[in-house]
């Protein structure tokens, strides 16, 4: 995925932390991009004192306004990137794809830089009938990038297209399953979703199965983006070669393994992008070297370069910017249906045998914060009192001896799959595998597969264990972690974890209208999930450093991935 992205589910992504790790220790062997997404603008980044609120769009739907202060049109912004597995919004499950798709397409609502839900193609909405009906009114005169008008019927067709079995979306149920009739459509038992009704060309009515505070936030995800039916149907399987969208940019060129070029969308509904072009370099290379050679405009700073760029006498120091922590968690996942991970004591032993504080300090110079829970710091629902399974080797050995897999000779083969193409699989995974071998006598094979195959196998729940990725929030609500990832019957539960009490808490939280009560429910569920070692949580991101060319203005970093290039401008544009 992108250097900031998601496993989208928003999803599965190689996080910003993973991107920096790759640059620092993996010599580019990761599938993450080198784009750290930093900010050179005065736009405030949410801090501990101003963390986003749950479902903020339910309270405030007014978009921000204001100018950037002297921007000019023209110029190009260049960054290192990886080939996206898809450019079809309804198939996006990773941050790499997300980072391009959000520039080409859009939906009814979006998240702004302060992570508030704001109008996008919808100019307004009403929440009716106790929170089960959403009535959207489209902006007047909006067009697709080819000039075709965008209507409410286009949204109905697009939402239903995302759910149709032939589309084979891995996330339609996750993000659209609350809509009445959508599950029947997904299951092939209906030809349309009864909860999506066109009132007229500009008005759309969506009915959901129960009042859910996070539903509108889900609509910011690409699964809910509008597509041009004529473009999709006439283009067949290759329609994304020349996609027609509603985003601030259009796709002008895509050469696999070489480059992606985005051009300004002249039919964009709002203020058009300043940049003439966004250039994604897909050909690989050492990001820092490319930055110093003026081949790219932005790069993360790895361990090997931190001291140098922090030196005030170093010319690069002028380009140094601070980037806030991403709302994500890196982890090693376990498929609890596959031996030996079907034994909670075995999973707990693996968790307790990993000294994350020592690894963070001695291996990664405290670039990462050890994670003992699922929800990251400063995120709504984060539990500062959660203890988790902290390093305790004696306890780990005891639990292993009590597990069904105490005998190494009869223990099933263990394979941890990571994304990659022959380089280092990631220093943290290697260190952890070595610890398990030395301290517990548990041997682990690390298997690398290319990114698209990795995602496919993960979505189909084929993997025994997996690492090298992170989950980044799609929207500021704990439902995006606890429900999507651990409810028994959800697509995002790739490890097949199941606990009746956790399911009960999640179901109750879905319709609980009191924010604090919802948080209590999610925290109780998280405690159970952590104690049963459904995952091995590894790292939360921390604030870090990046380099951004001084000619680049208003490049904004967000703790959740959002469209960002529309507001970027460069001072040397011709």
Give pLDDT tens digits for 381-393.
Answer: 999 999 999 999 9
Compute the mean pLDDT over every residue in the chain, rounded to the nearest whole number. 88
Distance CA 569, CA 567 (A): 7
Strands (E), 341-414: 368-370
DSSP codes, 283-344: S---HHHHHHTTS-SEEE--HHHHHHHH-TTSGGGGGEEEEPPPSEEEEEEE-TTSTTTT-H
What does the pLDDT average to over 45-54? 34
pLDDT category, 61, cuts 50, 70, 90? very low
Q: What is the pLDDT of residues 163-176, one digit of tens each?
A: 999 999 999 999 99
Q: What is the pLDDT of residues 502-522, one digit of tens each?
A: 999 999 999 999 999 999 999
Rounded to 5 degrees, what are φ and ψ at 528?
-65, -45
| CB-count exposure of residue 294 (10 Å: 0-12, 13-18, 19+) | exposed
| CB-count exposure of residue 187 (10 Å: 0-12, 13-18, 19+) | exposed
**pLDDT in the model for residue 45:** 27
- Higher-pLDDT residue of 21, 439: 439
**pLDDT in the model for residue 425:** 74
User: Does the N-terminal peptide bond of residue 340 adopt cis geometry, omega within 30 degrees of 0?
Assistant: yes
What does the pLDDT average to over 106-134? 96
Rounded to 5 degrees, what are φ and ψ at 202?
-110, 0
pLDDT category, 523, cuts 50, 70, 90? very high
Q: Lowest mean pLDDT of 84-98, 118-132, 285-299, 558-572, name the range.
A: 558-572
On the CB side of 117, how many CA atoms lie within 13 Å of its CA?
A: 28
Q: Tell me the whole-structure pTM to 2 decimals.
A: 0.86
Q: What is the pLDDT of residues 472-493, one digit of tens each?
A: 999 999 999 999 999 999 989 9
- Dihedral (Cα; 433, 439, 440, 446), 10-degree rounding: 10
Distance CA 50, CA 190 (A): 44
Q: Lowest mean pLDDT of 401-405, 425-429, 434-438, name the range.
A: 425-429
Q: How far are the Cα atoms of 18, 20, 343, 367, 396 from residue 542, in angstroms, in the given order? A: 12, 11, 33, 6, 28
Residues 6+ apart with CB under 8 A from 520: none
pLDDT category, 573, cuts 50, 70, 90? low
Distance CA 109, CA 220 (A): 6
pLDDT category, 68, cuts 50, 70, 90? very low
Q: Break the chain into its structural domains and give their ranges.
A: 7-244+544-570, 328-541
pLDDT category, 65, cuts 50, 70, 90? very low
CATH architecture of 7-244+544-570: Alpha-Beta Complex (3.90)
Distance CA 3, CA 12 (A): 12
Distance CA 460, CA 299 (A): 34
Write down the H helix ranges in 47-188: 95-104, 152-163, 172-176, 182-186
Residues 6+ apart with CB under 8 A from 167: 90, 91, 161
**pLDDT in the model for residue 181:** 98
Distance CA 427, CA 360 (A): 11
Is residue 225 scored above 60 in pLDDT?
yes
Write down the H helix ranges in 22-176: 95-104, 152-163, 172-176
**pLDDT in the model for residue 6:** 45
pLDDT category, 69, cuts 50, 70, 90? low
**pLDDT in the model for residue 91:** 97
Is residue 12 scored above 90 in pLDDT?
no
**pLDDT in the model for residue 284:** 86
Distance CA 97, CA 509 (A): 30
Domain 328-541 class in CATH:
alpha beta
| 328-541 and 7-244+544-570 share a CATH fold | no
Q: How far are the Cα atoms of 361, 366, 431 from residue 369, in angstroms, in the given order? A: 9, 7, 16
pLDDT category, 572, cuts 50, 70, 90? confident
Q: What is the pLDDT of residues 235-253, one digit of tens each?
A: 999 999 999 999 999 999 9
Backbone φ/ψ region at 112: left (φ over 0), alpha (ψ -120 to 50), beta? beta
Is residue 456 scored above 60 in pLDDT?
yes
């Amino acid at each position: 995925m992108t250097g900031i992205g998601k496993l989208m589910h928003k999803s599965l992504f190689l996080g910003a932390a993973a991107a920096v790790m790759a640059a620092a220790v993996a010599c580019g062997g990761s599938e993450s991009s080198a784009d750290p997404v930093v900010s050179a603008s005065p736009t405030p980044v949410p801090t501990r004192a101003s963390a986003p609120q749950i479902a903020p769009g339910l309270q405030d739907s007014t978009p921000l306004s204001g100018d950037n202060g002297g921007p000019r049109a023209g110029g190009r912004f260049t960054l290192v990137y990886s080939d996206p597995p898809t450019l079809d919004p309804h198939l996006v499950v990773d941050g790499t794809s997300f980072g391009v798709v959000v520039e080409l397409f859009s939906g009814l609502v979006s998240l702004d830089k302060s992570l508030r839900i704001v109008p996008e193609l919808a100019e307004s909405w009403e929440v009716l009938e106790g929170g089960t009906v959403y009535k959207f009114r489209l902006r007047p005169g909006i067009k697709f990038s080819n000039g075709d008008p965008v209507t409410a019927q286009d949204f109905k067709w697009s939402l239903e297209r995302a759910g149709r079995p032939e589309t084979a979306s891995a996330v339609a149920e996750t993000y659209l399953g609350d809509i009445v009739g959508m599950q029947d459509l997904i299951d092939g038992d209906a030809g349309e979703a009864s909860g999506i009704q066109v009132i007229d060309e500009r008005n759309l009515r969506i009915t959901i199965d129960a009042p859910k505070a996070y539903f509108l936030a889900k609509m910011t995800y690409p699964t809910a983006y509008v597509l041009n039916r004529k473009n999709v149907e006439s283009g067949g399987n290759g329609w994304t070669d020349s996609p027609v969208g509603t985003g601030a940019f259009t796709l002008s060129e895509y050469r696999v393994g070489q480059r992606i070029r985005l051009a300004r969308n002249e039919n964009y509904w709002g203020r058009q992008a300043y940049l003439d072009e966004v250039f994604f370099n897909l050909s690989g290379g050492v990001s820092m070297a490319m930055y110093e050679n003026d081949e790219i405009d932005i790069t993360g700073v790895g361990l090997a370069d931190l001291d140098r760029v922090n030196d005030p006498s170093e010319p690069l120091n002028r380009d140094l910017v601070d980037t806030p922590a991403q709302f994500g968690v890196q982890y090693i996942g376990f498929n609890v249906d596959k031996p030996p991970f079907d034994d909670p004591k075995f999973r707990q032993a693996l968790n307790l045998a990993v000294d994350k504080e020592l690894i963070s300090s001695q291996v990664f110079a405290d670039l990462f914060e050890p994670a003992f829970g699922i929800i990251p710091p400063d995120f709504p629902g984060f539990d500062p009192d959660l203890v988790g399974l902290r390093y305790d080797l004696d306890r780990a050995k005891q639990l292993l001896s009590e597990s069904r897999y105490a005998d190494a000779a009869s223990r099933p083969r263990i394979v941890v799959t990571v994304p990659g193409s022959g380089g280092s699989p990631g220093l943290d995974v290697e260190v952890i595998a070595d610890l398990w071998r030395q301290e517990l006598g548990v041997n682990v094979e690390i298997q690398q597969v290319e990114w698209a195959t990795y995602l496919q196998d993960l979505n189909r729940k084929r993997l025994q264990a997996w690492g090298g990725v992170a989950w980044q929030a799609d929207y500021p609500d704990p439902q995006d972690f606890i429900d999507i990832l651990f409810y028994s019957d959800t697509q995002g539960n790739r490890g097949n974890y199941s606990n009746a009490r956790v399911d009960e808490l999640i179901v109750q939280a879905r319709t609980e209208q009191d924010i604090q009560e919802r948080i209590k429910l999610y925290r109780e569920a998280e405690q159970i999930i952590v104690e049963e070692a459904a995952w091995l949580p590894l790292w939360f991101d921390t604030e870090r450093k990046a380099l951004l060319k001084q000619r680049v203005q208003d490049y904004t970093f967000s703790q959740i991935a959002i469209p960002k290039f529309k507001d970027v401008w460069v001072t040397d544009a011709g």
